[in-house]
Amino acid sequence: MRPAAIVLIASALTASPALAEADATASGEEAYREACAECHRSPERLVRGMRGDESERRERLEAFLIDHHAPDEGMRQSVIAYLLSL
């Protein structure tokens, strides 16, 4: 089985509302590695520099990332959940 198929099955198995947040964070880490890490080695550094409380950071990331390598809604939400969990 190809790795992509295993990931799909794994996320289907864990897709319950109770786990949704932890799941989004984990897939956000994966998405970050694929879409962002080549340019931003340290995700911590990206978010530590941001001012404001969590909802302000979320809004700013949302507005910024839509035109910055994260056009897909689901992927963007996962990456934001991951970044805000750091």
Give contact residues for ligand HEC (rule: CB under 6 A).
35-36, 38-40, 46, 49, 61, 64-65, 68-70, 79
Closest CB to ligand HEC among 14 and 57?
57
Closest CB to ligand HEC among 38 and 53?
38
Distance of closest approach, residue 75 Cβ to ligand HEC, in angstroms: 8
Output the CA torsion sign for 37, 81, 85, 3. negative
* Cβ neighbours for 26, distance < 8 A, ≥ 6 positions apart: 82
Say if residues 69 and 36 touch (Cβ distance below 8 Å).
yes
Hunting for tokens 């996320």 — which residue is that?
Answer: 11
For the beta carbon of residue 43, count every other beta carbon within 10 angstroms. 19
Distance of closest approach, residue 76 Cβ to ligand HEC, in angstroms: 7
Closest CB to ligand HEC among 26 and 36?
36
The residue of the chain with the least Cβ separation from ligand HEC equals 36
